Amino acid sequence: MRKNFTMTDIKIVISILCKHLNHLYNVSLKAENFRLAKYNKSEVQNVKTFWRLLSRMVDVNSENTVTYVKSYFLKVLKYKSLHFYSLPEDMSCGSRELLIALAYLIANEFLNNRIQDIINKSVFNPNKQSHSSPDTSSDSKEDSNIVVKQIKNNEDLENMMQWIDGQIEYNNRQCWEYQEAIKKLLLKVCIDTSFKLFLLSTCFIHLKNQCKFIEQS
């Protein structure tokens, strides 16, 4: 059954996506950027934000962002949009093409791979040691030793604990927001389904009564 999403549903999804992208790639993306790009509005900051995001998603670190991102899309991703490659170097326009390019990266698992990479490297990952190579294990131990060496007194330890508590609180808040969004979507699906079943049952009863009326007549 095809699901018809409302504008509210779409805004919720875009808002969550922006939070993910901002957290993972250190950008300042807002739902408004998506709206402007949808209509190909070429506000300078809007276009620059998308270029910055694309460059960080493909791990391009260069002053000439546009050229290197285009090169990556062409040589590595084999991206075939001529409109994308014709975008100006001064980032003066092309927000819609950049939005399409972003969708292309997400569709090709760039976002999921980034999240998975963070999970694999996390010290809270229970499978980190068992699935890592000896070189990776030694690197992770060195990283852990560096963190430990930075804790020189009780104040440093307390600050570290506060930082961890803050991260846990942030993760819990994110989980709560996702759960609320899922609840709203599920509730809408249930309401739509119940309404359709009600209409179906009403039609069935009406048809049954019509048949009885015909038989009696």
Task: Break the chain into its structural domains and give their ranges.
Answer: 7-114
Structure tokens of 147? Answer: 């963190």
Amino acid 69: pLDDT: 93
Here the tokens at position 19 are 């939070």
Residue 194: per-residue pLDDT: 61
The more confident residue out of 59 and 188 is 59
Q: What's the pLDDT score for residue 116?
A: 81
The pLDDT-based confidence of 166 (bands split at 50, 70, 90) is: confident
CB 78 within 8 Å of CB 57? no
Q: Residue with structure tokens 């309404």?
A: 195
Is pLDDT at 92 greater than 60 in this prediction?
A: yes
The answer on pLDDT for 138 being more than 70 is no
* Mean pLDDT value of segment 15-22: 87
Confidence of residue 145 (pLDDT cuts 50, 70, 90): low
Q: How much is the average pLDDT of 154-176?
A: 79
What's the rounded mean pLDDT across residues 71-95? 91
